[in-house]
Amino acid sequence: MDSKRLIESFTDFAKAKNIDRPTVIRILEDVFRAMIRKKFEVDDNFDIIINLDEGDFQIWRFREIVDDNSENIWDHDKVSLSEAQKLEDDFEIGEEVAEEIKFDSFGRRAIIVAKQALFQKVKDLEKDILYNKYAQLVGEMINAEVYQILHREVILLDDEKNELTLPTSEQIPKDRFKKGEYVHAIVHEVESQGNTPRVVLSRASPIFLERLFEREVPEVSEGLITIKKVVREPGERAKVAVESYDDRIDPVGACVGIKGTRIHSIVRELQGENIDVINYTDNIDLYITRALSPAKLSSIQHKGDRIAVYLKPEQVSLAIGRGGQNIKLASRLIGKEIDVYRELDVQEDDVSIEEFADEVEGWIIDELKKIGLDSAKSVLAVAKEDLERRTDLERESIDELYRILSQEFED
């Protein structure tokens, strides 16, 4: 391959990859200098002139003429007078020789290696461009086309046909994709596997829900309403705390929209995920009350990094929610563990949990004491679902424990 064909084929390839002109010239020069160093060991006395418009380049070597008997005649930037006069017979000592090095003088193998290096550098640069592009888009929502559906992930293509990954763990459980359809997701992270970037998308992240609110609610995108925090069980339930700095704007009403129009479009995108939008407040007790809605709380106690809420028996299941979702999401929204207690008749005398050692195994008593339950009433005040969540006890053991403790007060 001659120099002109090499330059033209490389330039066309780089252009197809959207590599700009200055970068193309820099890559060419880097590769040619590597060729020079391979053959001459140094490259500091060489100039490379690249003309992309003509599809050609020149390599010039510069050396100072010294006497044939000079001590530094073997220096890379020196040439003997006799050698110089083979090029032009009127050269004199002290003058500079500019000698053009022909491309084919590097040899066929070196030229093949240079060609491979050029194309590989563009591919490497393309990977760097992809990495840098998506590293700046982490947390932003994009729209990509489903390309391939695999067991553990879905491969999508962006507008430039770059492959993006949506792992099963970052999908909404009810998601069902079809090849060719377009999917919304956020850029979750950009990994570097070896020298290859891996762009990971997510539809399960709380940030994805936040971006949907920005898309559907103008007041959010304009900064009139702030989303303070989002917590989710993807595809099942979410809680979104919002706040407005303008007293004229109802943040919850604006996010829900007239007859729920705004929230409904978000719910459809999330495959029917139930979304509770609550008004954020610095009043922690009021914030807890709103977080546990629709349950109505009787009282709240703060116990270090935990919060105890007391409810009437019929309100307990509402506070806990199906599968414990409501209490889990409320705890994450508040940032503290919330423990649910039933209100009991305070007239009855309490009994230490140790008194039941004959009927309740010691390790179960220890489990109860670990979470601050040291009496029969304190155990019975906790919902069974909550006790199952907070201890290693199985449901059958909890049912039997409640039966034993309840019997004490019935007797």
How large is the average pLDDT for residues 197-214?
96
pLDDT, tens only, 234-280: 999 999 999 998 888 999 999 999 989 999 999 999 999 999 999 99
DSSP 338-370: EEEEE---TTSPP-BGGGGTTTS-HHHHHHHHH
E strand or H helix that includes residue 123? helix 108-135
CATH topology classification for 3-124? N Utilization Substance Protein A; Chain:P; domain 4 (3.30.1480)
pTM score > 0.75 for this model?
no
Question: In angstroms, how far is CA 373 from the centroid of its own chain?
Answer: 41
The pLDDT score that the predictor gives to residue 348 is: 52
Helix, strand or coil, per DSSP, at residue 92 = coil
pLDDT, tens only, 306-347: 898 988 878 888 888 888 899 999 999 999 999 888 876 544
Helix, strand or coil, per DSSP, at residue 187 = strand
Q: How does the average pLDDT of the chain come out, rounded? A: 89
CATH topology classification for 137-204? OB fold (Dihydrolipoamide Acetyltransferase, E2P) (2.40.50)
